[in-house]
Amino acid sequence: MTSLDNGLEAGDALRVLDRVFGYKSFREGQQEIIDHVVAGQDALVLMPTGGGKSLCYQIPALVRQGVGVVVSPLIALMQDQVNALTALGVRAGFLNSTQDADERREVEAAFLAGELDLLYLAPERLRVDATLRLLDRGKISLFAIDEAHCVAQWGHDFRPDYLALSMLHERWPDVPRIALTATATPATHAEIAARLNLRDARHFVASFDRPNIQYRIVPKSEPRRQLLKLLRTEHAGDAGIVYCLSRASVEKTAEFLVENGIAALPYHAGLDARTRAANQSRFLREDGLVMVATIAFGMGIDKPDVRFVAHLDLPKSVEGYYQETGRAGRDGLPSTAWLAYGLQDVVQQRKMIDTSEGDDAHRRRLGAHLDAMLALCETVECRGVRILAYFGQEGSACGNCDTCLSPPESWDGTIAAQKLLSTVVRLMRERRQKFGAGQIIDILLGRQTPKVVQHGHDSLTVFGIGTELSEAEWRGVVRQLLAQGLLSVEGDYGTLVLTDASAEVLGRRREVPMRRDPERPAKAAKVAKAARSAPTADLPEEAVPAFERLRAWRAATAKEQGVPAYVIFHDATLREIAAGAPASLEELGKVSGVGENKLAKYGQQVLETLTA
């Protein structure tokens, strides 16, 4: 980047965007943030995953004098980040515990000699005196604090080392700081500002809307089969992430997919570090792998072409769900967020909350998170609107989620609710018994199962009063009563008990609107069309062969260089090249994602591949 690194001014941001990154215009919010930091001011940036946060500190680091120091907890990804920058012609290095002394010395020397544009640091490095003294001896253009929510003590990614970052300001008062996160809750936001000493920083809050992600939540019946069908019909050959709650179900699901011919890898905290790293690296490098994982996987995974995120178990909060699904479609191309959810999830989650460590206040907080997640699952409104509302933002119906595409009918579930709640009441009052959903539904349906007969439940007055609904519909009723707080579960067996609000329904003082689960979840055909998300989806027929040739060329080149394919070019860039068929280097250079360095390095090969 020698030609760029001196004498640049604020107005040069757009030029850097074009020349280095090959992008023609800024995304929402980027320009303002970049101008602010280039001018030497502090910033706190809240932007969704895929919103384009990296450029918000990378461009100011290139424009300002000195080295941009990026604090990031993602040690395993630093090498890839540096490789991606190097491919753009940006001079970058990192310091973390994975290096030996020689490698470290080399980076330190480059830093001192002013031969770096960006230096990535693990936060724990900043607790080491030698690092601080090193930084004192160089010229720093800015501090970027990535994944800034790691400073939030209530968050799931808390890193104690982040607390020490408040000292950056005292030690280097003239160096601007920019903290960035995709975590949107106002509480986290306030905590970041306080703990990083960023109260005087300007806050930039982008919209958390992710229009290219299609949100779908379906009733769970046979989750693995449902998943397989989704992958086969809509995501054949696509890269994606499948989230499961437990390590055991991660293992089982990965095996199941492999047995069914889908290239899948497991990832959870029970695997040894080397296997985890190897699986993560394969997922990033190879095309079309499916990662089956617990939520231990994902933070900072900046693979742009994750085409789907599937949840086989209910996430614990809307916040977590949003973060996890947000890993789909960073490149802006159509992607799917799919969740299968059922009654058993609610039972299991409530149980986990009841038995969780911590005080009552903590349990109440967990309960409130779960309730919000359940409300999202059971809504008849646009999922996107509900998610935005959760983060305190407004939006209009997305037109792309399952409820927008095939609006669920709602029906008056008051009588059904009364029947079900009365059954619970009878069991509790007349028999001093509590049962789970299965037994209660059997009673409503008038089934003389051995368990019903054994307990004499066929002599209850409520026996057989609910034959107008099917078993699946009754399960839907139970789920929705749980979601609305009109029923509650307790204990190891998920027994159903009344809540304070149940009395309002039983006393006919409250109506209970319910959502009817679609017969065939979200009308597969209609959704599938909208979601056809293979990167070739809306490419003109005649451009597909060229696209496939470019992909093959990219795969070979990436392998040769030992970098992920997206480091060479993104799918979106290859698509644009295939569709536009540029005939000269000059034309190729106009494509989004083709900067000067990549044009010089790969331009000729791309043109040859196109005409091959």
Nearer CB in complex with Zn ion: 44/328:
328
Binding string, residues 402-441; x marks residues near Zn ion by CB under 5 A: --x-------------------------------------
CB 77 within 8 A of CB 301: yes
Nearer CB in complex with ligand ADP: 53/285:
53
Nearer CB in complex with Zn ion: 19/210:
210
Nearer CB in complex with ligand ADP: 393/414:
393
Q: Is 304 near ligand ADP (CB under 6 A)?
A: yes
Residues in region 44-103 near ligand ADP by CB under 6 A: 47, 49-55
- Residue 91 contacts which entry, ligand ADP, Zn ion, none (Cβ below 5-8 A, type-dependent): none
Output the furthest CA–CA distance in the chain (Å, rounded). Answer: 89
C-alpha gyration radius of the chain: 27
- Residue 208 contacts which entry, ligand ADP, Zn ion, none (Cβ below 5-8 A, type-dependent): none
Q: Which amino acid is at 440?
A: I
CB 572 within 8 A of CB 212: no
Residues in region 331-390 near ligand ADP by CB under 6 A: 331
Minimum CB–partner distance for residue 458 and ligand ADP (Å): 58
Q: Is 571 near ligand ADP (CB under 6 A)?
A: no
Minimum CB–partner distance for residue 22 and ligand ADP (Å): 8
Backbone angles phi, psi at 453, to 5 degrees: -65, -45
- Residue 401 contacts which entry, ligand ADP, Zn ion, none (Cβ below 5-8 A, type-dependent): Zn ion
Nearer CB in complex with ligand ADP: 59/265:
59
216: number of CA atoms within 13 Å, CB side?
32
Nearer CB in complex with ligand ADP: 156/252:
156
- Residue 51 contacts which entry, Zn ion, ligand ADP, none (Cβ below 5-8 A, type-dependent): ligand ADP
Nearer CB in complex with ligand ADP: 26/435:
26
Three-state SS letters, 547-569: HHHHHHHHHHHHHHHCCCHHHHC
CB 325 within 8 A of CB 337: yes
Q: How far apart are CA 541 and CA 254, in angstroms?
A: 34
Using CB under 5 A, which of 382, 416, 514, 610 touches Zn ion?
A: 382
- Residue 47 contacts which entry, Zn ion, ligand ADP, none (Cβ below 5-8 A, type-dependent): ligand ADP
Minimum CB–partner distance for residue 77 and ligand ADP (Å): 11
Minimum CB–partner distance for residue 610 and ligand ADP (Å): 22
Nearer CB in complex with ligand ADP: 55/245:
55
Task: Enter the DSSP assignment of 2.
Answer: T
* Angle formed at CA 413 by CA 407 and CA 419, multiple of 5 degrees: 155
The two tokens of residue 263 are 């290239």
Nearer CB in complex with Zn ion: 408/436:
408
Nearer CB in complex with ligand ADP: 30/188:
30
Q: How far apart are CA 422 and CA 429, in angstroms?
A: 10
Minimum CB–partner distance for residue 72 and ligand ADP (Å): 11
Q: How far apart are CA 465 and CA 476, in angstroms?
A: 17
CB 266 within 8 A of CB 214: no
Using CB under 6 A, which of 303, 330, 447, 551 touches ligand ADP?
A: 330
Minimum CB–partner distance for residue 52 and ligand ADP (Å): 3
Q: Which stretch binds Zn ion (CB under 5 A): 323-331, 399-407, 488-496, 594-602?
A: 399-407
Q: How far apart are CA 463 and CA 272, in angstroms?
A: 53
Q: Which amino acid is at 132?
A: L
Question: Which of 204, 194, 162 shows the shortest CA–CA distance to 48?
Answer: 204
Minimum CB–partner distance for residue 321 and ligand ADP (Å): 17
Q: How far apart are CA 243 and CA 323, in angstroms?
A: 12
- Residue 304 contacts which entry, Zn ion, ligand ADP, none (Cβ below 5-8 A, type-dependent): ligand ADP
Q: How far apart are CA 169 and CA 180, in angstroms?
A: 16
Minimum CB–partner distance for residue 58 and ligand ADP (Å): 8
Minimum CB–partner distance for residue 152 and ligand ADP (Å): 18
Using CB under 5 A, which of 89, 93, 384, 535 touches Zn ion?
A: 384
Strands (E), 416-522: 487-490, 495-498, 513-515
Sheet hosting strand 308-311, strand order edge to edge: 213-219, 335-341, 308-311, 240-243, 290-293, 264-267
Minimum CB–partner distance for residue 609 and ligand ADP (Å): 22
Nearer CB in complex with ligand ADP: 31/131:
31
Q: How many residues bind Zn ion (CB under 5 A)?
A: 5
To the nearest 5 percent, what fractions of the chain are helix, strand and coil? Answer: 50, 10, 40
Q: Which amino acid is at 464?
A: G
Nearer CB in complex with ligand ADP: 319/331:
331
Q: Is 398 near Zn ion (CB under 5 A)?
A: yes
Query: Under the phi-then-psi rule, with left for phi > 0, alpha for psi from -120 to 50, and beta for the rest, what region is 287?
Result: beta
Q: How far apart are CA 413 and CA 417, in angstroms?
A: 6
Binding string, residues 233-272; x marks residues near ligand ADP by CB under 6 A: ----------------------------------------
- Residue 447 contacts which entry, Zn ion, ligand ADP, none (Cβ below 5-8 A, type-dependent): none
Beta carbons within 10 angstroms of residue 96's beta carbon: 20
Q: Which stretch binds Zn ion (CB under 5 A): 102-110, 296-304, 345-353, 395-403?
A: 395-403
CB 298 within 8 A of CB 241: yes
Number of helices followed by number of strands (H, E) in the chain: 28, 17
The two tokens of residue 562 are 């030992």
Nearer CB in complex with ligand ADP: 120/435:
120
Binding string, residues 4-43; x marks residues near ligand ADP by CB under 6 A: -------------------x--xx--x-------------
DSSP string, 210-263: -TTEEEEEEE-SSHHHHHHHHHHHH-TT--EEEE-SSHHHHHHHHHHHHHTT--
Nearer CB in complex with ligand ADP: 131/207:
207
Would you tell me which residues interact with ligand ADP (CB under 6 A)?
23, 26-27, 30, 47, 49-55, 302, 304, 330-331, 570, 592
* Residues near Zn ion (CB under 5 A): 382, 384, 398, 401, 404
